[in-house]
């Protein structure tokens, strides 16, 4: 896996995780610093921005950055949704590949999981293993008690 792929995957995991709002805040903060840099840079050359112009510049920068992030995330999610839908077509042939995980895709995934988990129907998942056989129960670990020589 290349470095670029790892960075892309890490960024997307971060955006889709519970830290998504933190990413939004970071982008807003970066936009504020960029606006401050633009205002100080333009005033250094004798072009002062009033409050309305600063608001317009800030809106344009924020809108462009958020648009870019949204487009990249949606492109990535759409490609993987299409791959999932194509894989589910072997269980539900009527499923359309529309790059959207909606009710139809969720129902197809549930049907595929049910068919895979119920070997009595004669249907086999592509790996040849029923879903129930691949699930292993979690074992509880015993707590580690630190060694204390004074006891």
Quickly list DSSP for 60-95: HHHHHHHHHHHHHHHHHHHHHHHHHHHHHTTT-TT-
Dig out the tokens for 109 from the structure.
């995934």
Domain boundaries, the chain: 3-125
Residues 67-84 have pLDDT tens digits of 888 888 788 888 888 888
Query: Whole-model pTM?
Result: 0.52
Using 50 as the pLDDT threshold, list the residues of the chain that sit under it: 122, 124-125, 128
What is the pLDDT, as a whole number, of residue 124? 46
Residues 46-56 have pLDDT tens digits of 888 888 888 88
């Amino acid at each position: 896996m290349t470095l670029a792929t790892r960075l892309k995957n890490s960024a997307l995991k971060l955006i889709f995780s519970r830290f998504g709002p933190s990413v939004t805040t970071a982008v807003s903060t970066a936009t504020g610093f960029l606006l401050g840099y633009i205002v100080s840079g333009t005033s250094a050359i004798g072009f002062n921005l009033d409050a309305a112009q600063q608001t317009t510049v800030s809106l344009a920068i924020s809108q462009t950055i958020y648009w870019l992030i949204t487009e990249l995330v949606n492109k990535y999610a759409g490609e993987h949704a299409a791959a999932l839908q194509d894989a589910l077509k072997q269980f539900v042939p009527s499923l359309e590949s529309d790059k959207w995980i909606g009710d139809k895709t969720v129902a197809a995934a549930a049907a595929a999981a049910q068919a895979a988990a119920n070997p009595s129907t004669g249907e086999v998942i592509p790996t040849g293993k029923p879903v129930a056989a691949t699930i292993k129960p979690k074992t509880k670990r015993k707590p580690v008690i630190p060694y204390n020589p004074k006891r």
